[in-house]
Chains A and B, each alone.
Chain A
């Protein structure tokens, strides 16, 4: 091993340590007892104190289940609709197709603040403000641009011959979708739904503005509230944050390849 390589190692390991420092803080503090907290966040905890997790769970369990109840349907519906409209755009042959697709994709880049007030009014008018279905609808709607684009690009990567031979047989678009594209696109479905799940689970602004009371509060807002109250000790806040992060972190650690595929698909052809 030459000197340059050793230097690269040192730099990489130091960078990793710096990256991990906030996560170390979170885990370490979440395991500290109140007496142990006075020794600060850096010194490792003396024993594993799990009471903070019980306390945090008491505060955020209901929002946690609300988040599950909201994220799963929103992910499934937006992935399914994306697979349908992606196919539409892939197969469509009309004059303004490219412009229309551009306008839909552009929707991805419109910041939520530009539509926030009408969105609240609209959901209130149709009776969905402060409800889980209202949040599902919101995420499905604003997820359309990216899921459509991801699926359109995915279909384009499938060899043309497979589709052409089916179309010669006179298969309708629905048959084409059901019998050929759907089974061929299962990896695409996995990638897009992980992408959507992580985004929707982690989303904060809509969760903050569109929920009302405990009934529709989501886990991100519950963690923010823990952080905001002086009542919850540091160890409880950190434990709460950790619990809230778990579902997505699991994907990142155990399905790294799928996550990366989703991130790359979002970037390379965004």
Chain B
């Protein structure tokens, strides 16, 4: 009986093992193998070159720039999105009328694909005809007009803005439901003790949102580690590489320049960074 059940259980988990084993783990290893060759373009004879691609990667200034930008984006995107999401969740918790409409509005950006949001924001940012600059001109605030994504200094921060716009509603939803599930007595007790609204959230509500914080952090890390779409679609990594991230660089090297082996080495770097962050994070958050 037990053996029979075990075999059956095994058959049930087999599709997951085969698919994830192949598409995630076998392909990652295959990718490492490719990165150890000189495979490129239409060359038919592929040689094993050891760590050559990685040595090239270490001294590649574009890769360094892309690495820095990837981290800059992740390190600003995550705290900013969480902060704005939390503030909006608290606003919604103040029992305003129309909370459900506000909630849908804040969540709506998440429903758009990156392609759709990039299309909107390309015209938000357009220096000549874009919405932001047009609005500023209408309000006679011409001096506030910016070059936005066409400027090497602002391009990365424009992308950050779109990411925050798209994901803060998600954080709001999670925190809002977290706040709502805190037992009423806890909050009432604080109110009876004469705590101000600020203190109530600071000392009673926020400390009880640890689980939500871990959950939100997990998902934001997921997106931060694979930043590609908005960069590719809004700036293509430009102008002058100012917004290049590892994923867009990998794409350009692989599919535009056909340097497959070198592209694979960037892919491996992205893989290592993702796992170096996610494995400890997932283990620690599960132990909680």
Asked if A113 meets B266 with Cβ closer than 8 Å, knowing A15-B88, A144-B20, A266-B219, the reply is yes
A33 CB, nearest partner CB in chain B, Å = 15
Asked if A111 meets B226 with Cβ closer than 8 Å, knowing A23-B108, A198-B111, the reply is yes
Taking CB atoms, residues of chain A closer than 8 Å to B23 are 107, 115, 119, 138, 141-142
A203 to B112, CA, bound (A): 10
Determine whether B130 belongs to the interface, using a CB cutoff of 8 Å to chain A.
Answer: yes
- Ordered nearest first, which 9 A-B pairs have the shortest CB separation? A88-B12, A202-B113, A88-B13, A114-B271, A267-B215, A85-B16, A141-B23, A115-B27, A252-B111
Chain B 42-58 interface mask (CB, 8 Å, partner A; 1/0): 00000000000000000
B34: nearest residue on chain A (CB-CB)? A117
Taking CB atoms, residues of chain B closer than 8 Å to A183 are none
Taking CB atoms, residues of chain A closer than 8 Å to B247 are 111, 113
Q: What count of chain B residues pass the 8 Å CB interface test? A: 99
Question: Which residue of the partner chain, among B113, B120, B169, contacts A26 with CB atoms under 8 Å?
Answer: B120
Determine whether B148 belongs to the interface, using a CB cutoff of 8 Å to chain A.
Answer: no
A263 to B109, CA, bound (A): 14
Question: Which residue of the partner chain, among B5, B34, B111, contacts A249 with CB atoms under 8 Å?
Answer: B111
Q: Binding site of B, secondary structure by majority: helix, strand, loop or mixed?
A: helix
Taking CB atoms, residues of chain B closer than 8 Å to A223 are 115-116, 119
A220 contacts B20, CB within 8 Å? no
B113 contacts A237, CB within 8 Å? no
B16 contacts A115, CB within 8 Å? no
B226 contacts A113, CB within 8 Å? yes
A40 to B69, CA, bound (A): 33
Determine whether B67 belongs to the interface, using a CB cutoff of 8 Å to chain A.
Answer: no
Taking CB atoms, residues of chain B closer than 8 Å to A249 are 108, 111-112
Determine whether B41 belongs to the interface, using a CB cutoff of 8 Å to chain A.
Answer: no
B197 contacts A4, CB within 8 Å? yes
Question: Which residue of the partner chain, among B25, B96, B100, B268, contacts A9 with CB atoms under 8 Å?
Answer: B96
B102 CB, nearest partner CB in chain A, Å = 6
A140 to B15, CA, bound (A): 10
A264 contacts B174, CB within 8 Å? yes
A107 contacts B24, CB within 8 Å? yes
* 8 A-B residue pairings within 8 Å (CB atoms): A5-B94, A88-B16, A92-B13, A100-B17, A172-B5, A224-B233, A263-B170, A268-B211
- Which A residues from 5 to 26 make CB contacts under 8 A with B? 5, 8-9, 11-12, 15-16, 19-23, 25-26
Chain B 98-130 interface mask (CB, 8 Å, partner A; 1/0): 001011111111111111111111111000011
Determine whether A136 belongs to the interface, using a CB cutoff of 8 Å to chain B.
Answer: no
A226 CB, nearest partner CB in chain B, Å = 8
Q: What count of chain A residues pass the 8 Å CB interface test? A: 96
Determine whether A116 belongs to the interface, using a CB cutoff of 8 Å to chain B.
Answer: yes
A250: nearest residue on chain B (CB-CB)? B111
Interface-located stretch among B71-79, B150-158, B249-257 = B249-257
A26: nearest residue on chain B (CB-CB)? B120
A168 to B42, CA, bound (A): 63
Give A residues with C-beta under 8 Å from B.
4-5, 8-9, 11-12, 15-16, 19-23, 25-26, 29, 40-42, 81, 84-85, 87-89, 91-94, 100, 102-119, 121-122, 138, 140-142, 144-145, 148, 172-174, 198, 201-205, 209, 220-221, 223-224, 226-227, 234, 237-238, 240-242, 244-245, 248-249, 251-253, 256, 259-260, 263-264, 266-270
A68 CB, nearest partner CB in chain B, Å = 15
A221 to B262, CA, bound (A): 25
B278 CB, nearest partner CB in chain A, Å = 4
B219 contacts A270, CB within 8 Å? yes
A174 to B233, CA, bound (A): 46
